[in-house]
Chain A
Amino acid sequence: MAKTVEGLYYSESHEWVKVDGNVAIVGITDFAQHAMGDLSYVDMPEVDDELEAGEEFGAVESVKAASDLFCPVSGTVVEINEELEDAPELLNQDAFANWIMKVEMSDPSELENLMDAAAYEAMCANE
């Protein structure tokens, strides 16, 4: 059973968001890393990229498949996790401890469109 973390926001496309002031820290869920299998590459955006909620911002690749990543909230990329460039396996080791990017939110009210841990778990149970 894939784990979830309380207090985070979750998207239908299996990203999580942790809120730190006006910054959204974004990663992929444990369910997502488990479904993908061993990751071999993480395609990340560039700092200063402007993203709309629902817009594709990168991709994760494993030997099995490639899957696009979708930004849960609108805003500007302020930091990317460069450690993942050489060590995509960090997402397999702990998907919640290893974030992918940080986004300065332009409309924090969009967080309300996301799920809490319980709702996300219920969604995954149906997949």
Chain B
Amino acid sequence: MKYYDKLIFDLSKAGRQGYSLPACRWENSVSELPAGLLRSDAPDLPQVSELDVVRHYTNLSQMNFGVDSGFYPLGSCTMKYNPKINEEIAAMPAFAGLHPLQPSQTVQGVLRLYKDLSHALSEITGMAEFTLNPFAGAHGELTGLMVIRQYHMSRGDLKRTRIIVPDSAHGTNPASAAVCGLEIVQVKSKANGLVDVEDLKPLLDDTVAGIMMTNPNTLGLFEKDIREIASLVHECGGLLYYDGANMNPLMGVVRPGDMGFDVLHLNLHKTFSTPHGGGGPGAGPVGVAAHLAQHLPSPRVLEAEDGTLYVAEDDGDPCGRISGFMGNFGVLLRAYTYILMLGKQNVKMVGPLSVLGANYVKEALKDCYELPIPSVCKHEFVFDGLKDKSTGVATLDVAKRLLDYGFHAPTIYFPLLFHQAIMIEPTETESKETLDGFIEIMRHIAAEAISDPESLKTAPHTTPVRRLDETTAARQPVLRYKDIN
């Protein structure tokens, strides 16, 4: 990897130009603007040629590591391949040129697609209705919790201000609940990694709004007691929220709706192959059981008797509005493409293959890495650091060393149940050869930890930047370019 860290401004040479705008044919109307809104100097734009621009961004893009460049076993993130046909469809002018304020009679096909994707997600999850509006997983969590709160408020049940969250939960669960104004109560896990039903029982009373569960949980273990938990929570008048971050292993096999969940979110950028993070925005659709549909956020896409689709504001008893329009449509389109490309038969293969891959890697590494819970996992599993900890080599060092060998590091130091957590999720889109390559390097690193621990403690060695001083970065962050030096 070639080191490149220039800003486009560093390339600027006075007078150099790659593009010229045509002369303005309209009269200049800035004279009508108030003096305070007018700038006194021309903007300081970079003066560069087209070639400068192309090289600059090509070089920058090569500093990145993505699913397209290598194996990315980041636990709980489901870094599966993003098929290129998704991009082809999303780039079609009929979709790319849409405007969110177009009258609904001009976008019937698009509204139909919104409904059809909702139906497909309903079929996959067993939920009655969906909103596709939330922009990301945590945004979906907040939306789902707002639906739960609205449900209790609409019944005049104002005491329900507590939400139960397991100690193995994703950090976003308590964070979303706090943003929603709910008080968080933690329920413990048992030694086998599953939610402790006996610890849950005394927490259940008429102040409980609901419970947030991830199934399989963040240890990659299926919560086998889910039916019992569901009936206990329902008996006390609470609702069950399903964090869909770990939906991948269940796809096409088991449905959260059938387990008793009332509300869930899905991460289209995990389970449904749309790009993550820097590769594009996310999407966190929220599905609900039939009796909660009236509390979904505005706007909603509804169907008139004659089959015409329309965008409804404030229909039913909505929990509010959580986005300006109807979500990241380009992302929804990619997820819909993914579902149609797989088809019903192949959707059913996603879960089993992701489970097979995870168990294959787990079994091949458990003699050199500490496996705290030795049962069959679902799509991911957690090691508690190296088996031999005598050398002082920590999980962070193993993760950094992986970068030297061209792999993205797994998720580390999460979940918090273990001190040296390494959380590995291979996903179903990786071949056996790729998994074997990763296993070989992980075993090699475990051997290096004994033969040459120093090389791990100072890793990475071959990346454009070496080990970063995260502590100083956190204590004294430099947030603006002009503050460097």
Between B413, B416, B473, B474, the greatest number of chain A beta carbons within 10 A of the residue's beta carbon is seen for B474
9-residue interface stretch from A4-12, A34-42, A104-112: A34-42
Judged by DSSP, the binding face of B is helix
Q: Is A15 among interface residues, defined by CB-CB distance under 8 A?
A: no
Q: Is B106 among interface residues, defined by CB-CB distance under 8 A?
A: no
| Cross-chain contact B474 with A41 (CB below 8 angstroms) | yes
Distance in angstroms from B389 CB to nearest chain A CB is: 14
| Cross-chain contact B419 with A40 (CB below 8 angstroms) | no
The CA of A41 and the CA of B470, in the complex, are separated in Å by: 13
Interface residues of B in 185-241 (CB under 8 A from A): none
Q: Is B64 among interface residues, defined by CB-CB distance under 8 A?
A: no
The CA of A89 and the CA of B474, in the complex, are separated in Å by: 11
| Cross-chain contact A40 with B475 (CB below 8 angstroms) | yes
Enumerate chain A residues within 8 angstroms of B419, measured Cβ to Cβ. Answer: 35
Enumerate chain B residues within 8 angstroms of A89, measured Cβ to Cβ. Answer: 471, 475
Q: Mark B449-485, 1 if CB is under 8 A from A, else 0.
A: 0000000000000000000001101110000000000
Enumerate chain B residues within 8 angstroms of A38, measured Cβ to Cβ. Answer: 470-471
Enumerate chain A residues within 8 angstroms of B413, measured Cβ to Cβ. Answer: 64-65
| Cross-chain contact B416 with A63 (CB below 8 angstroms) | no
| Cross-chain contact A65 with B416 (CB below 8 angstroms) | yes
Shortest Cβ distance from B171 into A: residue:
A66
Shortest Cβ distance from A66 into B: residue:
B171
Distance in angstroms from B392 CB to nearest chain A CB is: 13
Shortest Cβ distance from A64 into B: residue:
B413
Enumerate chain B residues within 8 angstroms of A41, measured Cβ to Cβ. Answer: 474-475
Distance in angstroms from A70 CB to nearest chain B CB is: 12
Shortest Cβ distance from A40 into B: residue:
B474
The CA of A35 and the CA of B473, in the complex, are separated in Å by: 20
Distance in angstroms from B262 CB to nearest chain A CB is: 29
Q: Mark A85-96, 1 if CB is under 8 A from B, else 0.
A: 000110000000
Between A38, A63, A88, the greatest number of chain B beta carbons within 10 A of the residue's beta carbon is seen for A63
Q: Mark B103-144, 1 if CB is under 8 A from A, else 0.
A: 000000000000000000000000000000000000000000
Q: Mark A32-61, 1 if CB is under 8 A from B, else 0.
A: 000100101100000000000000000001
Per a CB cutoff under 8 Å, which of B416, B470, B473, B475 touches A88? B475
The CA of A40 and the CA of B474, in the complex, are separated in Å by: 6
Distance in angstroms from A39 CB to nearest chain B CB is: 8
The CA of A35 and the CA of B471, in the complex, are separated in Å by: 15
The CA of A64 and the CA of B413, in the complex, are separated in Å by: 7
Shortest Cβ distance from B419 into A: residue:
A35
The CA of A65 and the CA of B416, in the complex, are separated in Å by: 9
Enumerate chain B residues within 8 angstroms of A40, measured Cβ to Cβ. Answer: 471, 474-475
Q: Mark B399-424, 1 if CB is under 8 A from A, else 0.
A: 00000000000000100100100000
The CA of A63 and the CA of B476, in the complex, are separated in Å by: 12
Shortest Cβ distance from B476 into A: residue:
A40
Enumerate chain A residues within 8 angstroms of B473, measured Cβ to Cβ. Answer: 63
Distance in angstroms from B184 CB to nearest chain A CB is: 10
Q: Mark B65-89, 1 if CB is under 8 A from A, else 0.
A: 0000000000000000000000000
Q: When A and B form their complex, which 5 residue pairs have the shortest distance between CB atoms, in order from nearest? A: A40-B474, A38-B471, A63-B470, A40-B475, A64-B413
Q: Which residues of A contact B (CB under 8 A)?
A: 35, 38, 40-41, 61-65, 88-89
The 18 listed contacts between A and B (C-beta, < 8 Å) are A35-B419, A38-B470, A38-B471, A40-B471, A40-B474, A40-B475, A41-B474, A41-B475, A61-B474, A62-B474, A63-B471, A63-B474, A64-B413, A65-B413, A65-B416, A88-B475, A89-B471, A89-B475
